[in-house]
Amino acid sequence: MAVVQTVRQGNRAMRIAVIGGLDRHVQGLAKQALEAGHEAEFHQGRVGGRHAEDLEAIVQRCDVVVIVTAVNSHGAVSIAKKAARRRGCAAYIARTCGPSRFEQILTGLSRGRSLEGVTQLAG
């Protein structure tokens, strides 16, 4: 089941999906996104049953997708990459995504610069 944290601040809000990662980081990452004026949506990376459809839907709703590889299924990584390419949204691959990495991503997005330690998926 996906966890959604939604708060809009101004017109610059982006919807950011985080696919995979540790459940214990969800609330903290959602708070960071909120403080930066964005929305964050999370998927646990399980794709059995209807979860694959949920993953596709999350990517379709988002402007930016962060795909975590360390705590994620291979299937979820593959589905998220393909869905992001089809959608044409920015997608980043990160081995982990805790509070410090997510802060780097948010800062990089706001400044339009490349992100160290994070690979941008080619469109």
Average pLDDT over residues 12-33: 94
Could you confirm whether domain 3-120 is CATH 3.20.20.150?
no
Neighbours of 1 (CB within 10 A): 10
Angle at which helix 99-111 crosses helix 26-35, to 10 degrees, equals: 30
Lowest mean pLDDT among 2-11, 33-42, 46-55, 110-119: 2-11
Is residue 20 within 8 A of residue 96, CB to CB? The reply is: no
Question: Which 8-state DSSP code applies to residue 57?
Answer: H
Average pLDDT over residues 57-73: 95
Give yes or no for residue 74 having a pLDDT over 90. Answer: yes
Its pTM stands at: 0.84
Give yes or no for residue 17 having a pLDDT over 80. Answer: yes
Per-domain residue ranges of the chain: 3-120
What local confidence, expressed as pLDDT, does residue 117 receive? 62
Counts for the chain of helices (H) and strands (E), in that order: 4, 6
Distance CA 2, CA 26 (A): 11
CA torsion sign for 66, 69, 70, 71 is: positive
